[in-house]
Structure 1
């Protein structure tokens, strides 16, 4: 009998009001749990607006410790709904030390692990280096999968999704699927053709990580227009487009640009079968990749 896992995700808008944002999240979780979802992914920073469009020291007040009120609410929901839940926090680790952190809650066990975003962007409208410190590059944090009752989860966050090294390291550590909570959208100043190129590249690169590692991929993005309160830009239209794909990049479920939940029965044995016919890990030339640890080959 194939080993199946019913996987879901919540695609939603979010607001500066945490109560409003989390209420929207909770509705999606109940909807997915009623359909039998065992593992549910939430988008990046789902409890607040995407505040990184501008730099404001007052916004550090949004941050919470790993066991703060938002985490406690998510843990309670995971226990009540009997699910494994991947949530997102703006984490206050210490004074002046903050992270963009994904936390995994396993049914009645509570929090069983977390992943601190490793790649931090700094682009117009995405000034994350002002707010977030990269995760520690250690064997038990860094690119380390999280063991749960439904399998070993390779959780990465948003900007991490552009880096094949991150997905590969998760696969090499035994991840059984890749999960990407994200917050990405269009700058309104870009023309429609450029916007479409960006979205297609975003979808393509993540599907390619699935192909290159023989793993299913689950991606949750946000939706809605969020203004730039500094008024330097016109804000961001988050494009949604959340999806679930199989280990050959096959699209299993795809969301539009509205509030939506997705749920899929994943055949968890397909990764093994795929790697038997496409044995990328066997054929890697690890003796020839030393220069990958260099910034550039001058």
Structure 2
């Protein structure tokens, strides 16, 4: 039995404040008996404050991926496996500093895995450089992978991780309510519906466990959804939070649950990649539309 936890919480531009909040959340997860904890994207330094026109003067601080902040979280993690997102400094080029929307998975032994967000919505494409791939990695809790919010919109992202042996994927988000179609209640919000739909679909279609962490509260013009959750390999929500901060905690038996989910229908084995004519990256003739996040 493994206890998984996913957090909904608010973070700021004050990295020292954020580190203290991370420490508190890790402490609560440890007290709850969690072996794996997913924290949101932007857990160190927050996220952009405007998705359509991010101000260069209000960007998250760009952190060294090998720097003291990540090492501090690893020390806090101790025996736990902790995933978190941040803005990574990737050096400089002719256009100035290079930033990645990045994630690190750590324990007291150090960094276990990293990911750079591949899929950048139009508004932030000028802020963050896209990552170049997806890879699973081994942890004391089993083989895992990570995605960052908009990545989960694309089925290929989670599928590549599952094919690489990941049985648990942590998706770290700073996912806000709809910018263009405000709903009177969060439960009716278009982006809230999609956020939950993608979490459940990506778990079910790959028959894997899924941790979804998200920011809550407000950041600039954005109202983050919260809605952290643990999802089983059949797409069932095992534990969740709502719009406010909190921890979604669930006990799972990964081998038993995944083996059971794949006992009759084994989606990965039943694939027919030779028939997927667009799988090589060829674009459709007409764009299907552009998402908000």
Same fold at TM > 0.5 = yes
Secondary structure, in 3 states, of the residue corresponding to 1:192?
Answer: coil
State the match for 1:128 in structure 2: 124
Q: Deviations over 1:69-115 (max 9, x none)?
A: 32121111112xx2111121211111132211111113x31112211
State the match for 2:68 in structure 1: 69
The question of whether the paired residues in 2 share the 8 Å contact of 1:188 and 1:237 is answered with no
The one of 191, 195, 207 aligned to 1:214: 207
How far does residue 217 in structure 1 lie from its aligned partner after superposition? 0.9
- Alpha-carbon separation, structure 1, partners of 2:157 and 2:215: 22
Equivalences for residues 7-18 of structure 1 within 5 A: 7-18=4-15
State the match for 1:19 in structure 2: 16
State the match for 1:253 in structure 2: 239
- Alpha-carbon separation, structure 1, partners of 2:180 and 2:117: 28
Instruction: Determine whether 1:57 maps to 2:56.
Output: yes
State the match for 1:152 in structure 2: 143
- Alpha-carbon separation, structure 1, partners of 2:140 and 2:236: 25
- Alpha-carbon separation, structure 1, partners of 2:182 and 2:90: 40
- Alpha-carbon separation, structure 2, partners of 1:191 and 1:97: 33
The one of 158, 168, 173 aligned to 2:164: 173
The question of whether the paired residues in 2 share the 8 Å contact of 1:6 and 1:36 is answered with yes
Which runs of no fewer than 5 residues in structure 1 stay unpaired? Answer: 137-141, 228-234
Q: Cα gap change, 1:135/1:276 in structure 2, threshold over 3 Å: closer, same or farther? A: same
Which runs of no fewer than 5 residues in structure 2 stay unpaired? Answer: 287-293
With structure 2 as the length reference, what TM-score do the two structures score?
0.88
State the match for 1:190 in structure 2: 181
- Alpha-carbon separation, structure 2, partners of 1:207 and 1:280: 15
The question of whether the paired residues in 1 share the 8 Å contact of 2:240 and 2:247 is answered with no
Structure with bigger helix share is 1
State the match for 2:113 in structure 1: 113
RMSD over aligned Cα atoms: 1.9
Instruction: Determine whether 1:43 maps to 2:34.
Output: no
Number of residues of Structure 1 aligned to a counterpart in Structure 2: 276
Equivalences for residues 261-276 of structure 1 within 5 A: 261-269=247-255, 270-276=257-263
State the match for 1:296 in structure 2: 284
- Alpha-carbon separation, structure 2, partners of 1:277 and 1:199: 32
